Structure 1
Amino acid sequence: MWEENELKTSWELPNAKLLALLATYIVLLCLTVCFANNITSMMGMTLPGGIYVFPVSFIICDIVSEVYGFPIARLFIWFGMISELIFAFLSQALIAIPHPDTFIHAQAYHTVFSPTVRYVFSGMVGFFSGEFLNVYILSKWKIRVKGRYFVIRSVMTTAIGQAVLSIVVDYLAFAGKMPTSELISMMYAGWKVKMIYSLFFVLPAWYIVSYIKKTDKIDVYDVNTNFNPFRFKLS
């Protein structure tokens, strides 16, 4: 009996900080999908509504990659994409349920949620071309500089990853819905907003990274990591 209890207490409990980051990450991605069709105008820039929350997901991936390594960040990206797929297809099923004539807001739900499947698939392509590129460069760069300069690395890799993601996602999601000149302008404006977010949140992110490394005594270097995005093992 003592050995059995000893074995149970020796198991590592789920990391609460990591779970909190994952929950926040998924919430942000689902909000992005919800408001992607809400085209806004901010300081003369045309922007999809999701732009105001999505950049924080990149910051979270930077934190996870820096502390726990590329394989955990890779799982975050996959969990995020799967969650978006579930959200998109369930939303289609729910708006397809018949409604009584007295409910006058059914069309509003269709307007908001009908495009979600297209947005999610365009977002998945963007993740592969932008999000994975971001954490890959961040991880490789960390090895070269021996873990220093997180603030600089985070901003620079975000600039690269978000540029690629903005082009891919905006083109796949909005091509044909607006003039090409306006689409290009929206891509550039979205990238600028994402970089403002990156600059604003990078110091809090650095504090979180330092706090987790210190309290959990973990700091992973991806020296022998397999960077295949389709690999699901934690190595």
Structure 2
Amino acid sequence: MTASGKAVFAKLSSPYYPALTALFVGVMLISNIAATKAVVLFDWLQFDLGPLHVNGLVTDGAFFLFPLSYVIGDVISEVYGFRAMRRTIMSGFVVIVLASLCFWVAIDLPAASFYEGQAGFESVLGTVPRIVLAGLAGYVVGETLNSYVLVKMKERAGESHLWARLIGSTVVGEFFDTLVFCSIAATAIGIRTWSDFINYLVIGFVWKTLVEVLVMPITYAVVRHLKRAEPTYRSGLAGVSQVTPKVP
């Protein structure tokens, strides 16, 4: 165990970091496409709470996948540090922008006379640029804050209290991610009223945060495995333990 303020991070010269980055970028790309579909869960759930009129839980088609990006982000930040996560965020940014440009070009290309799917193609991928903008803005803000908070907490606590920094960073990151994303994407998926917007915002934030808490044992297991598998992390722990005086 390291002392307070003695944060250890692995170097990027391993096969694990590129694999995690690829998985993160893939999740983000799929989520941006799936999020173009507006979804209402539990439409039987109807009640009024002040100005909020709930007619089911309003979300989007990526609600079950997107939280995984924050789990991966937590793992990268905990094991490799803020700078590594910033590189991962930039990789995702470039790939999603490229995908958006490709969709825009594909929509604008003249359709063959026998192709009957142009309208459906446009209706799904035509909203992606707006969703991409929302996703990029949300995830750049959210993931950056998530990683920053987690790393700063680790620098204060060392290896202890992983659960606290996972939850603390998730609450901060997910809130601002959801707020930014929903503010931009709501009208693109058909949300028109303040009631539906608040529903969309609250459900999104609560759901994403809850998922991360529920899968925390898996996050713990992955982090523990990587810390043991990464030689530079083990050597960093050994180096810190040698220079840190024992507390009687």
Say yes or no: TM over 0.5. Answer: yes
Q: Residue 14 of structure 1: CA displacement?
A: 5.1
Task: Return the alpha-carbon distance in structure 2 between the equivalents of residues 18 and 27 of structure 1.
Answer: 14
3-state secondary structure, aligned to 2:158: coil
Matched, 1:199 2:198: no
1:116 to partner: Cα distance:
1.2
Equivalent position amino acid for 1:146 in 2 = G
- Output aligned runs, 1:12-27, within 5 Å: 15-27=14-26
Structure 1 residues 217 and 13 mapped into 2: Cα distance closer, same or farther (>3 Å)?
Answer: closer
How far the C-alpha of 1:24 sits from its partner, in A, is 0.9
In 1: Cα distance, 2:215 partner to 2:21 partner: 17
> Among residues 68, 73, 77, which one is paired with 1:61 in the alignment?
73
Q: Show the counterpart of 1:40.
A: 39
Q: Is residue 58–residue 200 contact of structure 2 (8 Å, CA) maintained in 1? A: yes
| Cα distance, 1:128 vs structure 2 | 3.3
Q: Which residue of 2 aligns with 1:228?
A: none
- SS state at 1:50 partner: coil
Q: Is the 8 A contact 2:78 2:223 kept in 1?
A: yes
Give the structure 2 partner of residue 149 of structure 1. 161
| Structure with a larger share of its residues in strand | 2
Aligned counterpart in structure 2 of residue 216 of structure 1, from 230, 240, 246: 230
Letter in 2 for 1:136: Y
Q: Find the aligned partners of 2:24 and 2:133 in 1 and give their Cα distance.
A: 18
Contact 2:71–2:212, Cα closer than 8 Å, also in 1: yes
The one-letter amino acid paired with 1:114 is G
Number of equivalenced pairs: 210
> Shift in Å at residue 184 of structure 1?
1.1
Report the Cα distance in structure 2 between the residues aligned to 1:148 and 1:172, rounded to whole angstroms: 38
Q: Once structures 1 and 2 are overlaid, which stretch shifts more, 164-173 or 97-106?
A: 97-106
Bigger RCO (CA 8 Å, 6+ sep): 2
Q: Which runs of 5+ in 2 are unaligned?
A: 1-10, 43-55, 238-248
The AA in structure 2 aligned to 1:19 is P
SS at match of 1:37: coil
Look up the equivalent residue of 1:64 and give its one-letter code: I
Question: Whole-Å Cα distance in 2 between the matches of residues 54 and 125 of structure 1?
Answer: 15
Paired amino acid for 1:172: I
- The answer to whether 1:51 aligns with 2:66 is no
Structure 1: where are the runs of 5+ without partners? 1-11, 222-235
- Give the root-mean-square deviation of aligned CA atoms: 1.9
In the TM superposition, 1:77-156 aligns within 5 A as 77-156=89-168
Moved more, 132-141 or 49-58: 49-58
SS at 1:160 equivalent: helix
